[in-house]
Amino acid sequence: MCTTCGCGDPAGTRYTALRHDHSHDHSHGHHHPHDRGAGARTVPLEERVLARNDQLAAANRRLLAERGVHAVNLMSSPGSGKTTLLERTIRELGDSVPVAVVEGDQETLLDAERIRATGRPVVQINTGEGCHLDAAMLERGLRELDLAPRSLVFVENVGNLVCPALFDLGESTRVVVMSVTEGEDKPLKYPHMFRTADLVLLNKIDLLPHVEFDVARCAQQIRRINPGADVLHVSATRGAGLPEWCAWLRKRAITIYCEPEI
Amino acid sequence: MHELAITQSVVDTILERTENARVTAVHLVIGKVSGVVPDAVRFCFELVAAGSPVEGARLDIEEPAGRARCRACAAEFACDGLVVLCPCGSAEIDVLGGDELLIRSVEVE
């Protein structure tokens, strides 16, 4: 578990905006004095464990809504092709909408460098031992980006189908990317992740002739977990399905802009 | 996995709410469909609590079962996970309970 996936202390998180030449440390920010009370008693707390994350996520959501920014949280297992998809999506969208990217990885600036090559603003969040992005990290990441009004910001979460599912970032759209090389049972194996997706993007569709992957069965598994999710097929390397994906994003953005409560 | 971050949140919240009093027991509620593994939290708790006023506290975890309601036929039924079908065949369900992730109470000295 923790020793395997390395989920850890937020003090290890690093933020790097590739437009700038500096990075920021993240300190814990408070200390714990050891005052001791007298006499045993039960203190009812009734506090949700994720309450603080959810409050920060709500603040992110308000900030994004004020600027009319559509934030898309992209989640998947490692190697499903999220970064390649982003590179191609940015090219496909062209100048139709300003795009910025928040990249989440445990280590390296490799993905952010690939996005920077597209000319779009990007900030890399290195979570160190952490296995997911949380709302506080996104808040820091968004501060590094000068978000244009009515723009589109992609948040590429840490590649992991388990942990990111539990942490609301304040995004308005959740997209799960899975690829045909992963096996069609992923939705049943990772139901928390698929249950909250607005869209499941089935990537590497060009490899279908070479792998054992039942598209119809996969769609059935997704419907069992999340009957309301849309499903699109794409090939980020060959370009198939990208116009439909971009059209889905535009339609989704219109829906969000027309509903101020989102 | 995420249980270490979750457990860190638990301990941070307790320290804030109890103003650093010595904590002897912690009562959590981790529902069966919350996506959090109680045994993993137990494993992380000792690690996260070390050196704080929560160190050595007894950890009690209540694990309420999942409850769901079908959107199609309105039937309510028990579930142990999110991969559930209503007896009527519909997959469109709302989770009514068992997704809790709460700090119910603590005992302090």
How much is the pLDDT for A10?
Answer: 55
User: Per residue in A3-57, pLDDT tens?
Assistant: 334 455 555 778 888 754 444 444 444 444 444 445 689 999 999 999 999 999 9
How much is the pLDDT for A38?
Answer: 53
Question: How high is the ipTM of this complex?
Answer: 0.87
Contact with chain A for residue B83, Cβ under 8 A:
yes
Is B70 marked within a binding site? yes
A3 domain residue, yes or no: no
Q: Report, as ranges of residue numbers, the positions in chain A whose pLDDT lies below 70.
A: 1-11, 19-39, 259-262
CB contact under 8 A, A46 and B102: yes
Enumerate the residues of chain A whose CB falls inside 8 A of the CB of residue B8: 9-10
CB contact under 8 A, B44 and A2: yes
How much is the pLDDT for B87?
Answer: 87
A8 domain residue, yes or no: no
What CATH number does the domain containing A229 carry?
A: 3.40.50.300
Is B73 marked within a binding site? yes
Looking at the structure, give the CATH architecture of the domain made up of residues B3-65+98-108. Answer: 2-Layer Sandwich (3.30)
Range of the domain at A208: 15-26+38-258
Number of domains composing chain A? 1
A32 domain residue, yes or no: no
A219 domain residue, yes or no: yes
Q: What is the DSSP string of chain A?
A: -HHHH----GGG-EEEETTSS-EE-------------SS-EEEEEEEETTHHHHHHHHHHHHHHHHTT-EEEEEEE-TTSSHHHHHHHHHHHHTTSS-EEEEEEESS-SHHHHHHHTTT--EEEEE-TT-SS--HHHHHHHHHHS-PPTT-EEEEE--S-SSGGGG---S-SEEEEEEETTS-TTHHHHSHHHHHT-SEEEEE-GGGGGGS---HHHHHHHHHHH-TT-EEEE--TTT-TTHHHHHHHHHHHHHHHHT-TT-
CB contact under 8 A, B1 and A2: yes
A1 domain residue, yes or no: no
User: Per residue in B63-100, pLDDT tens?
Assistant: 999 999 999 999 999 998 888 888 898 888 889 999 99
The domain ranges of chain B are 3-65+98-108
Is B44 marked within a binding site? no
Whether pTM > 0.90 for this model: the answer is no
How much is the pLDDT for B1?
Answer: 60
Contact with chain A for residue B86, Cβ under 8 A:
no
How much is the pLDDT for A9?
Answer: 52
Contact with chain A for residue B65, Cβ under 8 A:
no
How much is the pLDDT for A220?
Answer: 92
CB contact under 8 A, B108 and A40: yes
How much is the pLDDT for B16?
Answer: 92
Q: Which amino acid is at A75?
A: M
How much is the pLDDT for A36?
Answer: 44
Distance from CA of B61 to the nearest CA of A (A): 13
